[in-house]
């Protein structure tokens, strides 16, 4: 059998059978298992219900898990806060029957000039069109720059 490209890491490896598409590296096996679970959750309602029950039992045994997670990962907590506000805004618009414009979140540079010139600090750059993770950016004032 010939070597093939691993779907996880992109390196060539010798598969044990014709169904193997991930190499044996731990990261690739985690990716394979995560893909299997995503597909199983999407296609097997009994499995999904069992996982929800198992997760809620686990969380009930660790009541401070999310509080501790947020205090240990302030960046992720801040990112989620921003994304939750966007989800809430979208849900409110849907509940009110408003058509949320697709271009919400795209800044018009000329429309907000006085505000833009005062913006500096840390912000989350949240893509509204492309599906990708939010990116944390830092906007700094340039000394002697435009006002
Ligand atoms: Zn691999």
The per-residue pLDDT for 103 is: 47
The per-residue pLDDT for 28 is: 96
Domain limits of the chain? 4-61, 67-139
Burial 127-136 (b: 16+ CB within 10 A, else e): eeeeeeebee
The per-residue pLDDT for 51 is: 97
- Distance (Å) from CA 66 to ligand 1 centroid: 32
Bridge partners (DSSP) listed for residue 91: none
Strand bridging mode 121-125 / 135-139: antiparallel
- Distance (Å) from CA 32 to ligand 1 centroid: 9
Residues of the chain with pLDDT under 50: 103
The per-residue pLDDT for 114 is: 54
- Distance (Å) from CA 119 to ligand 1 centroid: 43
- Distance (Å) from CA 89 to ligand 1 centroid: 40
The per-residue pLDDT for 97 is: 81
- Distance (Å) from CA 23 to ligand 1 centroid: 4
């Amino acid at each position: 059998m010939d070597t093939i490209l691993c779907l996880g890491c992109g390196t060539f490896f010798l598969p044990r059978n014709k169904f193997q598409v991930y190499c044996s590296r731990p990261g690739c096996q985690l990716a394979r298992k995560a893909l299997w679970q995503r597909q199983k959750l999407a296609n097997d309602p009994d499995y999904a219900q069992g996982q929800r029950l198992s997760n809620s039992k686990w969380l009930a045994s660790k009541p401070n898990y999310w509080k501790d997670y947020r205090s240990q990962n302030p960046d992720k907590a801040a990112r989620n806060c921003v994304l939750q506000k966007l989800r809430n805004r979208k849900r409110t618009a849907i509940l009110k029957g408003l058509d949320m414009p697709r271009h919400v979140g795209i800044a018009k540079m000329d429309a907000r000039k006085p505000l833009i010139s005062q913006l500096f600090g840390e912000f989350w750059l949240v893509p509204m069109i492309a599906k990708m993770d939010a990116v944390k950016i830092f906007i700094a004032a340039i000394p002697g720059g435009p006002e």
